[in-house]
Structure 1
Amino acid sequence: MTFSFSATPDFDFLTSFARHIRAEVHDNVLEIPKHLGHGYIRKIVFGPDFEITLHQFLLKEDLIIRRNASAIASDLITVFFYSNDQPLAITYNNNPQVLFSGRDNSAIQVTSNDLSSVICFPAQRLINYMVIAIRPASLKEFISVDKPSSVLEIITGNGSSFLFFENMAAEPKLLLKNMIAIDMGDMLSNFYVRIKVQELLYHVFYKLSLREHANQAINSADISRLLYIRDEIVRDLSKPPVLRELSQIAAMSETKLKSLFKQTYGTTIYNYFQQARMEEAAFLLKKGKRSVAQVGYDIGFTNLSHFSRLFERHYGQNPKRFSYS
């Protein structure tokens, strides 16, 4: 099933999607029809410039949501939270599908509303995600800092295209889980959810504010290339990325690629690769039931002592102890 829409300023996802699947919305809740699966999509409006959409469902067939950039400008900021151990693929501007990460597909993205994207949700998997839509004025009011960082200035300014990714730490995951589980029949439920949404926004923008700088201009074509480069980096975790080769693939100078990648993902290309290796190692140790030596060799380490030291630096304990914890 594919749902396509144009991100115009007055577009309402809930009512349009309900019309697409021939269902009805009651009190801002869309119950998924039984012939399609089960679950719901719920919209909660806190004001004209601030609302969220909660998604929790399991579908009988794949769902592809295709957002097309609109010719009509919109300053809407979208913050997307996805918390699940199952694969989620996202593409921008007709790029090949890119998984958020190799094993843990929980992620946060902050994006302007002028980018085309495609999100693919697999069938027979429980989907949990939330989208916050907020305008710059409201976000500025929430953040309320006299001297915002360059990243925050770009996000809360007007006319800039941007896409930032952040890993979802344990606390935002728990917040999202609690919000989805809340009884919305409680008369104070909206009050509770609003507080938790602001708490989530704090976690996101605190992390983004720590990034060194974001002074490199970026456009849709650059974003497409970065997503593809990110996929290339994690495609084979046994081989470190070669910057020269990546820059040729991206059709960018090495300087521009390094700068844009760090700006978008918050870390260097090599550090991103090492983090992905450690996540893969943790997965294989826990669920793959492989020995430390097997895991180390699988992800390209010939020196197992070096692998153990690096793993302990990331997870606070050596691989052997981690596998039994």
Structure 2
Amino acid sequence: MDPTASGLRRLFDLVQDSGGHWSGDTLHLPTSIGTGFMRLLSPEPGLKLAIHSFILTEALTLDREADYTQPETLLVAFHAFDPAPQAALHLSTARITSSTLGLTTQLPAQTAIFIVALAIDKTLLSNWLPDAEKLLPALFTNQHPVVLDTLLTPEIQAVLRQVAVSRPAHPLDNFFYKIKMQELLYWLFWELALRAMTPVRLLHPADAEKIYQVRTALLANLSDPPNLPSLAEVVG
């Protein structure tokens, strides 16, 4: 179970191949790519965590391929951009997806990027949030791909700021990060529960991927958005 499967595996590989160096559980970016780091943690069985904090020299597009080998895993990613250009501002979101869905992630250049990516077993999530399956049953099915996202709420942003603070290694780190991930998921589910009365539409994975292709194309240049015929041609 790998949190870099959220679409950031390519970036990990790129950083390592370009001369990035490890310091404990932290991988530092080489100056050819940018500045900052990526950190891998495993606070408890069933939960893996990747913390990313960097500024890229050039914009990157990261593709995540669908993975059907981990149907019991949910991928949760919190993306924050600061200072945010017009497009990046709208890309600051919290997103839950099943590992069976392929998606594309856009990372802008010369922008402070902070991402917390989780890979969590559905069983562990049920233990933490026993009412989650009642509120959002679509998350716990293996028959259809899942994707839910929302803008970052002030509560989520507050927890992300706590996680973003550089901390020296400590024996209680696993406990700290477990609590903070629980807080993030609590506020995320609180926000998503507001949609609980809206019927969930089931999509084929290819359709879901095309919807996000349209989203990316629209956000790439909000001052001059593409017209409907050109969008239809891009996504087929």
Alignment TM-score > 0.5, same fold: yes
Shift of 1:141: 0.7
The residue type paired with residue 21 of structure 2 is E
Instruction: Give the aligned partner of residue 212 of structure 2.
Output: 227
1:14·1:30 contact (CA, 8 Å) conserved in 2? Answer: no
2:73·2:122 contact (CA, 8 Å) conserved in 1? Answer: yes
Instruction: Give the aligned partner of residue 218 of structure 1.
Output: 203
1:15·1:25 contact (CA, 8 Å) conserved in 2? Answer: no
Shift of 1:168: 0.7
2: distance between equivalents of 1:200 and 1:42? 18
Shift of 1:197: 1.1
1:18·1:25 contact (CA, 8 Å) conserved in 2? Answer: no
The residue type paired with residue 93 of structure 2 is A
Q: 1:35 aligns with which of 12, 32, 35?
A: 32
1: distance between equivalents of 2:215 and 2:111? 25
2:104·2:212 contact (CA, 8 Å) conserved in 1? Answer: no
Shift of 1:131: 0.6
1: distance between equivalents of 2:201 and 2:167? 44
* Bigger Rg, structure 1 or 2: 1
CA RMSD of aligned residues (A): 3.4
For residues 133-282 of structure 1, the aligned pairs below 5 Å read 133-145=119-131, 148-149=134-135, 152-211=136-195, 212-227=197-212
Moved more, 61-70 or 197-206: 61-70
1: distance between equivalents of 2:189 and 2:23? 33
1: distance between equivalents of 2:168 and 2:111? 24
**More relative contact order in 1 or in 2 (CA 8 Å, sep 6+)?**
2
2: distance between equivalents of 1:54 and 1:60? 19
Identity of counterpart residues, as a percentage? 23
Instruction: Give the aligned partner of residue 94 of structure 2.
Output: 108
Shift of 1:29: 0.7
Shift of 1:117: 1.9
Q: 1:120 aligns with which of 106, 114, 118?
A: 106
Q: Deviations over 1:183-225 (max 9, x none)?
A: 1323323322221110000011122223214443212232234
1:7·1:67 contact (CA, 8 Å) conserved in 2? Answer: yes
Q: 1:60 aligns with which of 45, 57, 62?
A: 57
Q: Say which SS state the counterpart of residue 168 (structure 2) adopts.
A: coil
Q: Say which SS state the counterpart of residue 81 (structure 2) adopts.
A: coil
Q: Which runs of 5+ in 2 are unaligned?
A: none
Closer, same or farther in 2 for the Cα pair 1:168/1:71, shift >3 Å?
Answer: closer
2: distance between equivalents of 1:203 and 1:55? 20
Instruction: Give the aligned partner of residue 129 of structure 1.
Output: 115
Q: Say which SS state the counterpart of residue 43 (structure 1) adopts.
A: strand
The residue type paired with residue 44 of structure 1 is L
Closer, same or farther in 2 for the Cα pair 1:221/1:13, shift >3 Å?
Answer: closer
Q: Which runs of 5+ in 1 are unaligned?
A: 1-5, 89-98, 238-244, 251-325
1: distance between equivalents of 2:213 and 2:132? 37
Q: How many residues end up aligned between the 2 structures?
A: 221
Q: Which runs of 4+ in 1 moved over 4 A?
A: 11-18, 228-237
The residue type paired with residue 193 of structure 1 is Y
2: distance between equivalents of 1:127 and 1:7? 18
1: distance between equivalents of 2:132 and 2:103? 33
More strand by share: 2
Query: TM-score scaled by structure 1?
Result: 0.58
Give yes or no for the alignment of 1:46 onto 2:40. no
